[in-house]
């Protein structure tokens, strides 16, 4: 998430805190917990077993000490705090950060149950223009601080999400070899600016597009709306960046870090270091 776009609008389904606590009680698979010790206090996170690639990579980074003494190098109040750049160890004051990496990326693990609620732990990544598969950085991460959203804003996001999904489905349809004749005709009509004929073609395949849309939920559930209206978060990032954990203690510390005075690069003017360890008790 070099510079996270504020316009990306995706939606997904909500997973409550109690759902993950229930997994712990059932003993299906141990849940790993991490302590992030910072200059402003401690943050404790649990990693999701639903995103095993990200979970295992984060555990590896913690065990190897890769993230120790790195900074929360980008903070935006009402949005998120980002860290994990290897180049942020002992950097010069005022130097922009966020381009460091560990030489590999992690395949996206999008899960409709894991959303960008306040306290969500997610993987940063390069932008879509150079990273169309939305693969995650091997080391940089962010924690959502976010804000609350009204029903009106959530309604607008649903509509934008629907339009974006329909566009994506249409692109997929026209890209299939079996639809080559349709695509070629569509391009000819588009070049000729024959909008009436284009609309007829779109109307003809509308049932196919809408049937595919049914497989890709874009509406917020009542429970999800309640989370974004009360607890808060940042729903525009849902389905676009991999969420792989959540804060279960220390949200007040996240708020402190997010409110830190920052420079033109969103870097805190006073460095905020971190040290990560696995919680064994």
CATH 2.40.100.10 range(s) for the chain read 17-148+231-278
Listing DSSP states for 19-78 in one string gives HHHHHHHHTSSPPPEEEEEETTEEEEEEE-TTSHHHHHHHHHHHHHTTTTTEEEEEEETT
The Cα 276–Cα 62 span in angstroms is: 6
Report whether 141 contacts 246 (CB < 8 A).
no
- What tens digit of pLDDT does each residue of 107-165 get? 999 988 899 999 999 999 999 999 989 999 999 999 999 999 999 999 999 898 889 88
Task: Give the number of other CB atoms < 10 A from CB of residue 24.
Answer: 13
Ranges of residues in the chain whose predicted pLDDT is under 50? 2-26
Write down the pLDDT at residue 1.
52
Write down the pLDDT at residue 20.
41
Write down the pLDDT at residue 24.
45
Residue 36 β-bridge partners: 43, 276
Q: CA-CA-CA-CA torsion for 60, 65, 71, 77, nearest 10 degrees?
A: 40
The Cα 187–Cα 88 span in angstroms is: 48
The Cα 52–Cα 229 span in angstroms is: 29
Task: Give the number of other CB atoms < 10 A from CB of residue 230.
Answer: 10
Q: Render the burial of 103-131: b for 16+ CB within 10 Å, e for the rest.
A: eebbebbebeebbbbbbbbbbbbbeeeee
What kind of fold does domain 17-148+231-278 have according to CATH? Answer: Cyclophilin (2.40.100)
């Amino acid at each position: 998430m070099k510079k996270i776009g504020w316009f990306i609008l995706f939606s997904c389904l909500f997973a409550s805190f109690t759902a993950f606590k229930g997994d712990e009680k059932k003993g299906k698979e141990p849940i790993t917990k991490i302590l992030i010790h910072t200059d402003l206090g401690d943050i404790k996170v649990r990693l999701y077993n639903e995103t095993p690639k990200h979970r295992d990579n984060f555990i590896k980074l913690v065990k190897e000490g890769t993230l120790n003494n790195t900074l929360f190098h980008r903070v935006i109040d009402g949005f998120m705090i980002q860290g994990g750049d290897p180049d942020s160890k002992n950097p010069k004051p005022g130097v922009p950060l966020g381009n460091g990496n560990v030489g590999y990326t992690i395949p996206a693990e999008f899960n409709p149950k894991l959303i960008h609620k306040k306290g969500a732990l997610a993987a940063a990544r390069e932008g879509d223009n150079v990273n169309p598969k939305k693969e995650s950085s091997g080391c940089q991460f962010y924690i959502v601080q976010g804000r609350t959203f009204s029903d009106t804003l959530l309604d607008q996001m649903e509509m934008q999400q629907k339009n974006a999904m329909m566009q994506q489905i249409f692109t997929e349809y026209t890209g299939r070899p079996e639809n080559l004749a349709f695509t070629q005709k569509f391009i000819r009509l588009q070049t000729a600016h024959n909008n009436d004929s284009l609309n007829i073609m779109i109307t003809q395949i509308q049932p196919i597009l809408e049937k595919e849309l049914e497989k890709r939920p874009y509406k917020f559930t009542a429970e999800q709306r309640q989370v974004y209206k009360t607890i808060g978060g940042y729903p525009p990032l849902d389905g676009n960046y991999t969420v792989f954990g959540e804060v279960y203690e220390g949200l007040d510390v996240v708020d402190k870090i997010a409110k830190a005075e920052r420079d033109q690069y969103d870097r805190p003017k006073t460095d905020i270091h971190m040290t990560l360890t696995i919680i064994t008790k």
